[in-house]
Structure 1
C-alpha cells in the first residue's frame, strides 16, 4: 500500500535520491548535496509544499508545489512544478495518488487551482486529463534566460 505524506525538514533525506533522479532525467548533472540544500531551503522557508509517496518506509515518488497569485482574478494558485515516480513504480497509480493529494491540498487551503507545464510528448497528459485538468489552448508559454 502507498501512503502519501507531506515532507517536512525531517523527511527531506527520504526524497533526495528521487529529486536527483528527476533532475538527471532532465539532463542535469547529479548533485545530491545541491539537491538537499535546494529542497531544505524550499521547505524551511515555506516556499513550496512537497508530498512524498511511501511504500513502507521507502519514498517512491514525490510532487513539489509552488505558490503564486493572479492579479486578474485576485486569487492565489499553485504551480505543480515537479512530479516524479521511480521507474520501477510507474504504472501503479503512484503519480495519480500524488496528483489527487495535490488537488486535495489545493481545495482544502482555498487556492484557485493548479497549473503545470509538460512536454508535448509526455504520456502523463492522459492522466492529467482523466483527473480533470484542462489543456490551455489559448496561451503560449515563453521563457527569458539570463545569460
Structure 2
C-alpha cells in the first residue's frame, strides 16, 4: 500500500471514491458531478488530495483545503474529506492517509490541521482522538445554509 499525491491523472478512479464518500454522507450518487468537482479542484489548485494505492487501484483518499489563521498569521489546512473503501477498512489506510496529510501540512509551515465529523461517526472520532486531535470546547461551529 502506498500513499501518493493525487493529480488530474487520477481523476477517473478518484471520482468513483469521491462519489462513494458522498453516498456515505447520504448524498445521491452523481459520478459526473463528482468528477467535475474534483477536476475543478485540480485545475484551480484549490485542494491537495492524497490517495491510497493498492497495486494500481485507488482505495481511499483524503482532501485538504487551504486556509489561514489571522491571529497567528500562519497557514491552516482543513482536512475536509477522508474515505476508505469499505472492503479496505480496518487495515490502517486511514492512518496512512492522515500521516501523509499531516506531514504535508508540517512541510508547508502550517500551524494546524483542523477537521470536523458527524457526531454519530464514532469510528472517525476515535481515530482523530487517537492521533491527538482535540475536540474544541472553546469555539462554536456555525454555518449559514445558502442553498
TM-score, normalised to structure 2, is: 0.95
What is the distance in 2 between the residues matched to 1:100 and 1:130? 13
Instruction: Tell me the secondary structure at the aligned position of residue 50 of structure 2.
Output: strand
CA distance in 1, matches of 2:120, 2:34: 27
Alignment of 1:57-76 (within 5 A): 57-76=56-75
Shift of 1:99: 0.6
Matched with 1:136 is: 136
For 2:69 and 2:103, locate their aligned partners in 1 and report how far apart those are by CA, in whole Å.
20
Provide, for residues 16-69 of structure 1, a one-character-per-residue CA deviation record: whole Å limited to 9, x for no partner. 111000111111111111111100110111100000001101100000000001
Structure 1 residue 121, shift from structure 2 partner: 2.5
Aligned partners of 2:65 and 2:57: how far apart in 1?
Answer: 24
Q: After superposition, what is the alpha-carbon deviation per residue over 1:77-101, rounded to whole angstroms, capped at 9, x for unaligned?
A: 1000000000011100000110111
Q: Which residue of 2 aligns with 1:113?
A: 112
Q: Over the residues paired in the alignment, what is the CA RMSD in angstroms?
A: 1.0
The number of residues matched between the two structures is: 146
Could you state the TM-score of these two structures normalised by the residue count of structure 1? Answer: 0.95
Unaligned runs of 5+ residues in structure 1 are: none
Residue 51 of structure 1 corresponds to 50
Correspondence for 2:124? 124
Match of 1:33 in 2: 32
Unaligned runs of at least 5 residues, structure 2: none
Task: Give 1:119 shift.
Answer: 1.4
Tell me, in whole angstroms, the C-alpha distance in 2 between the residues paired with 1:109 and 1:146.
32
Q: Hey, which bits of structure 1, 4+ residues long, moved more than 6 A?
A: none
